[in-house]
Amino acid sequence: MTSSVSEQAAPLISGEDLGIALIVTVVGLCGLFSLLGIVTNVTNLVVFAKLGFQDNINISLMGELITGLITAFITFERCLCIVLPLRVRTIISPGRTKRLVVSLFLLLFCLFLPCYYTNQLAWVFVPERNTSILKITRTPALEVVNQIISMTQGVLINTFSFVTVIICTTVLVVKLNKKTKWRKATAGKGSGGSGDLGLKEKKVAKTVTFIGAIFIVCSLYSTVVFFCLVIDTDLFVRGKNENLFLLANSISILLTTINSSVNMFVYLKMSSKYRAVFLQTFVWSD
């Protein structure tokens, strides 16, 4: 009876296994991808600054350094370019895009600001060492703040971003395929049609699809974890399954870091303008 009770009370992830996992994910892999992310994002800043911010897409792609909501906005804006090509400039202007990017940055900053209140640095006396050490202490409001952030960021914002990216990308691809078929048909009949324009639209669609796919793959896990946190409060820090939460959170951080580090390679592959400025700046600068 005693052994069965102790087995039930045992954590799903032991402290030793958790320590190894955190070293591999947070210290090792996250450290490497964070270093890569610094290089790629600084590169993006330099290239987009040289490209200028007259186009909405350049502003949006630079802002994608901030949040997945920008990815949703990019797919929405590109979708409008296909569905309403003559009106998109009046609906989404560069000025409005800049204000949107700044507003989303402020929204996310304010959302996570309470975390600094619930996790504070304080001197704590450790009897085993007979001295005080500087540690992160958590206030009683931690669990409430975590629930609010999980619901807002993980469930509402991430879910909205997923749905928007999927819908807009689907509409974009379907409309693009229809227009491509129409151009081929009219060109074959000698009624005009621009193959170059179709090629440009295809490149834009592929770029947006790649960006959206990377976002979905890297963020889907985090969304599932956030939903689990809302459903099962034992997964929070200080909960019964605290170690499982910390492991899941470390994997989520790793995937988010990867998502923020690899977009430069998509731009190099898919955007001729980005590639030309990149090569001119970092390769052929002499």
The residues pairing with 125 across neighbouring beta strands, listed in sequence order, are 132
Q: Is it the case that residue 236 has pLDDT exceeding 60?
A: no
pLDDT (0 to 100) of residue 29: 92
Would you state the structure tokens that stand for residue 10, as one six-digit string?
Answer: 């045992």
Amino acid 269: pLDDT: 87
Of 163, 194, 158, nearest to 179 (Cα)?
194
pTM for the model stands at 0.70
The answer to whether position 1 is within a domain reads no
pLDDT tens track for 17-41:
888 888 998 889 999 999 999 999 8
- Any bridge partners for residue 119, and if so which? 138
Percent of the chain with pLDDT over 90: 5
Q: Give the residue carrying structure tokens 């820090």.
A: 237
- Whether residue 240 has pLDDT greater than 80: no
| Domain-embedded: residue 3 | no
Confidence band of 233 (pLDDT split at 50, 70, 90): low
Residue 57 lies in a domain: yes
Say how far apart CA 276 and CA 272 lie, in whole Å: 6
- Which tops the pLDDT comparison, 141 or 199? 141
Q: Does the residue 249 lie in any domain? A: yes
Residue 84: how many other CB atoms lie within 10 Å: 12
Q: Is the pLDDT of residue 166 over 50?
A: yes
pLDDT for residue 2: 43
In-domain check, residue 254: yes
pLDDT at 278: 92
Residue 110 belongs to domain spanning:
13-283
- In a domain, residue 187? The reply is yes
pLDDT confidence of residue 228 = 74
More confident residue, 126 or 242: 126
Residue 62 included in any domain: yes
Model confidence at 173: pLDDT above 80: no
Q: What amino acid is encoded at 48 in this protein? A: F
pLDDT bin (cut points 50, 70, 90) of residue 201 is low
Helix (H, G, I), strand (E, B) or coil at 26: helix
| Mean of per-residue pLDDT scores for the chain | 78
Q: How many domains does the chain have?
A: 1
> Is the per-residue pLDDT at 176 higher than 90?
no
Please give the pLDDT value at position 285: 57
Query: Confidence class of residue 220 from pLDDT cuts 50, 70 and 90?
Result: confident
Residue 194's pLDDT band, with cuts at 50, 70 and 90, is very low
- Rounded to a whole number of angstroms, the CA Rg of the chain reads 24
What CATH number is attached to the domain comprising 77?
1.20.1070.10
Residue 2 lies in a domain: no
User: Do residues 208 and 78 touch, judged by C-beta distance below 8 A?
Assistant: yes
